[in-house]
Structures are given as C-alpha cells and as structure tokens.
C-alpha cells in the first residue's frame, strides 16, 4: 500500500472534517494544514502526524502529493490551480468558483497538467442518495420522470461572513443548492435542457443575495426537476438536552426531501425523518394502485454516512488516488452542475427561460 503526505488548505467548519478524514485514511502519512488563522490549527495540538505549514511549503514539498481545498469559494481556483500546477492531486470543495470563467479555468488546468482532481459533491457518497440511485438503476420505479426537491432551513451563516457578504444575487445557488441540483443530474443521469427560476423578495436583511430560490428545470425527454428553497423558516438551533436535533427539526420548519417519481413507482428521501421509502405502482381494473413497499431508516450515529458524507467521500477519494484510479467527479463533470447553477441565476436575473445552449454559460 502506497502512503503519501497530504495537506488541507482552509481549516474552518468544513476543513475540520477534511482533516479528520485525512488523518483516518490508511494512505496518509503526515498531514499539513494551511490556514492564516492560528486558532484553527490549535484544534489538533498533540496530534503528532499533523503540522501547520504555509502554502509555499506544501507546494514545493514533493512528499505532499494530495491537497484538499476547503477555503472560501473565491479562493478555490487560486488554491486548486496552484496545487495542480505543482503536480499535486486535488480534492476541491464545491463550487468550483464564483464564476463560470473560474470553473472553466480549473478544467483547463486539470487537462493541461493531467492531474487527478475531484470536486466535492459529497452527497453522491451519502447512503441516503446512494440507496435512491441503486433503486433507480435497478429499474424499481421505472423511468424517472419528475423530481421534486424541497429544502427549508434556518439562517445559519451569520452576519458579516464571506457567505452573507457575497454580492452575487444567486450566491446561494452555487454555495448551497449546487448539491441538490447535482443530485437531480445524478438521478436523471442527464444534464438540464432549460431552467426557469424566480426568487421572491428576501427576508434575511443582512444577506447581500437572495435567500430563496424556486428552480424549475426540464431534462431530456420532457422530464422535470423542481427545487424549492427557503432560508429562515426552520427554527434557529438552540441545543436542548431533552430533544435530539433532528427529532426537533423534523417539525420546526426544517425540510429536506426528494420525491423522485418514476413510471412504475416513486422514492422519497427525508433527512429530517431519517428515512427513505419506495412506492410501487400497478394497474388495477379501476385505478392506479400505489403502495409503499420498502422503507429504510437510520439512527443518529449514522447521520454523517447517510446525509452529508464528506468524511466517507474523502476516504474514498484518497483511496482512488492511492490506487492510481481516476477521479469520480472531475472538473468537467462538476461543470455540468456549475452550469446548471449559473443558468438558474441568469434566469432569475432575466425573468426568462435559460437554455443549456445559451452562449452566456
């Protein structure tokens, strides 16, 4: 088994998970963490395999072969690009950048340097959505024709952060909804044909961008995807020792569900109920019979694996690289989702349908 040194750039909320996963990977020897904030690295004081380093140090150190980028979005191209140009393999957080030009430049660099590069759409590694995909691929619901996604959450980004300050009107589409639009691509196994999106006046006054998005998409064959997103409805989280988090959030305004409707059945994923179910349709003499035939639930200890499986994604990607395999979500593939996000933003700005062939994309 080949072991190598690795680095994580950006040790904030998400970087923390990347650090933990890298330390748990059997392929990683030493781990370097790059972050201008000294407080961040203090978290791992006493961890002998982890050292703080500068960007220059990790780029010129030939023993560092794998770099994870978890900095704010406007730095992704700079950091992932520099790493690939120095011959490193890269796992970069989504979105690929704040603009499509940045995303295209990342594709160009990956191609030119022939690097291993994976973009972190980790929901594709989450059990909840892997089960849905497995049922779809096994033909259990027939052909997927309509996907409804509902996402209601609390405002949790806070005032005066890079997230709330970002001025792009569709910032949250790339920052938050890219995961959920990516899953529509994953389940349909296709790219969008056209998008129509609208946003109502916002309620989160300190956000420089829209706080809600309603995105309706057509996919090849007349298939339809819908995503409804509202930030602020879910009750603000206050730890309550008597109530487990999702048990409370399942009925306080939070919602995160897919209804994936096929020609012979349907699938529902529901994060706040920790559940995935499958319906089967059959023709009866008088009507269409629909019945729930399969239900999978999971326990709080499995939240990470079932829901936002960044940890599992990282272990899998480190292994792909160590074994000389290709990335499972390269920049070109991820660009399909980036384009989808920007088409939705353009549609909101124009008040018109935006087609995949639009020359502005």
Least distance in Å: CB of 120 to ligand NAD?
5
Residue 167: CB atoms within 10 A of its CB come to 8
**C-beta closer to ligand NAD: residue 83 or 141:** 83
- Comparing every residue's Cβ against ligand NAD, the nearest one is 12
CA 243 to chain centre: 28
Window 91-110: contact mask with ligand NAD (x via CB under 6 A): --xx----------------
350 closest CA partner among 160, 197, 125:
197
**Given 6, 7, 9, 260, the residue binding ligand NAD (CB under 6 A):** 9
Least distance in Å: CB of 281 to ligand NAD?
34
Give dist(CA 98, CA 304) in Å, integer: 27
Give dist(CA 116, CA 87) in Å, integer: 9
- Is 36 near ligand NAD (CB under 6 A)? yes
CA 314 to chain centre: 13
**Which residues 258-317 are close enough to bind ligand NAD by CB under 6 A?**
308, 310
- Is 13 near ligand NAD (CB under 6 A)? yes
Give dist(CA 107, CA 100) in Å, integer: 11
**C-beta closer to ligand NAD: residue 79 or 278:** 79
**C-beta closer to ligand NAD: residue 11 or 215:** 11
- Is 90 near ligand NAD (CB under 6 A)? no
**Given 3, 37, 60, 240, the residue binding ligand NAD (CB under 6 A):** 37
**Given 7, 25, 32, 35, the residue binding ligand NAD (CB under 6 A):** 35
- Is 73 near ligand NAD (CB under 6 A)? yes
Reduced to 3 states (helix: H, G, I; strand: E, B; else coil), residue 304 is helix
- Is 120 near ligand NAD (CB under 6 A)? yes
Window 166-185: contact mask with ligand NAD (x via CB under 6 A): ---------x----------
- Which region among 6-14, 238-246, 263-271, 339-347 touches ligand NAD (by CB under 6 A)? 6-14
From the number of C-beta atoms within 10 Å of its C-beta (0-12, 13-18, 19+), residue 147 rates as buried
Residue 357: CB atoms within 10 A of its CB come to 8
- Is 14 near ligand NAD (CB under 6 A)? yes
Instruction: Report in angstroms the alpha-carbon separations of 154 from 37, 170, 237, 285, 335.
Output: 27, 18, 8, 46, 28
- Is 10 near ligand NAD (CB under 6 A)? yes
**Which residues 178-237 are close enough to bind ligand NAD by CB under 6 A?**
none
From the number of C-beta atoms within 10 Å of its C-beta (0-12, 13-18, 19+), residue 111 rates as middle
Give dist(CA 334, CA 283) in Å, integer: 39
**Given 5, 25, 71, 309, the residue binding ligand NAD (CB under 6 A):** 71
Q: Which residues contact 99 (CB under 8 A, 6 or more apart)?
A: none
**C-beta closer to ligand NAD: residue 37 or 112:** 37
- Which region among 13-21, 146-154, 250-258, 295-303 touches ligand NAD (by CB under 6 A)? 13-21
- The string of DSSP letters for 30-50 reads EEEEE-S-HHHHHTTTT-TTE
Residues binding ligand NAD: what is the number (CB under 6 A)?
A: 24
For the chain, the farthest-separated pair of C-alpha atoms sits apart, in whole angstroms, at: 72
- Which region among 33-41, 56-64, 110-118, 230-238 touches ligand NAD (by CB under 6 A)? 33-41
CA trace torsion 346, 348, 354, 356 (10° rounding): 60
- Which region among 59-67, 70-78, 289-297, 332-340 touches ligand NAD (by CB under 6 A)? 70-78
- Is 75 near ligand NAD (CB under 6 A)? yes
Instruction: Report in angstroms the alpha-carbon separations of 319 from 123, 301, 316, 325.
Output: 18, 24, 5, 8
Q: Kindly list the residues in this chain that would bind ligand NAD in the complex (CB under 6 A).
A: 9-15, 34-37, 40, 70-73, 75, 93-94, 120, 122, 175, 308, 310
């Amino acid at each position: 088994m080949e072991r190598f040194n690795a680095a994580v750039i950006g040790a904030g909320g998400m970087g923390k998970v990347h650090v933990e996963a890298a330390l748990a990977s059997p392929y990683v020897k030493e781990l370097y963490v790059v972050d201008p904030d000294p407080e961040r690295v203090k978290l791992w004081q006493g961890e002998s395999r982890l050292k703080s380093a500068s960007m220059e140090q990790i780029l010129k150190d030939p023993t560092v072969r794998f770099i994870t980028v978890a900095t704010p979005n406007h730095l992704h191209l700079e950091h992932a690009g520099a790493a690939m140009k120095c011959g490193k393999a890269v796992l970069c957080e989504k979105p690929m950048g704040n603009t499509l030009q940045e995303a295209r430049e990342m594709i160009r660099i990956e191609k030119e340097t022939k690097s291993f590069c994976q973009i972190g759409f980790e929901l594709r590694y989450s059990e909840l959505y892997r089960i849905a995909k497995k049922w779809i691929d096994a033909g259990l619901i027939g052909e997927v024709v309509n996907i409804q996604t509902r996402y209601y959450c609390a405002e949790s980004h806070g005032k005066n952060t890079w997230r709330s300050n970002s001025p792009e009107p569709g910032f949250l589409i790339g920052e938050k909804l890219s995961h959920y639009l990516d899953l529509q691509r994953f389940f349909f196994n296709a790219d969008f044909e056209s998008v129509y999106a609208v946003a109502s006046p916002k309620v989160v006054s300190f956000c420089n961008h829209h706080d809600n998005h309603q995105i309706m998409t057509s996919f090849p064959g007349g298939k339809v995807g819908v995503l409804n997103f509202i930030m602020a409805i879910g009750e603000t989280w206050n730890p309550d020792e008597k109530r487990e988090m999702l048990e409370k959030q399942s009925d306080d305004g939070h919602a995160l569900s897919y209804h994936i409707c096929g020609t012979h059945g349907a699938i529902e994923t529901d994060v706040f109920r920790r559940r995935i179910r499958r319906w089967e349709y059959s023709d009866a003499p008088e009507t269409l019979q629909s019945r729930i035939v399969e239900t999978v639930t999971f326990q709080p200890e499995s939240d990470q694996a079932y829901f936002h499986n960044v940890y599992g994604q990282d272990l899998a990607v480190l292994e792909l690289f160590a074994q000389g395999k290709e990335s499972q979500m390269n920049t070109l593939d991820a660009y399909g989702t980036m384009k989808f996000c920007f088409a939705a933003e353009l549609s909101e700005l124009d008040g018109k349908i935006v087609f995949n062939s639009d020359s502005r994309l």
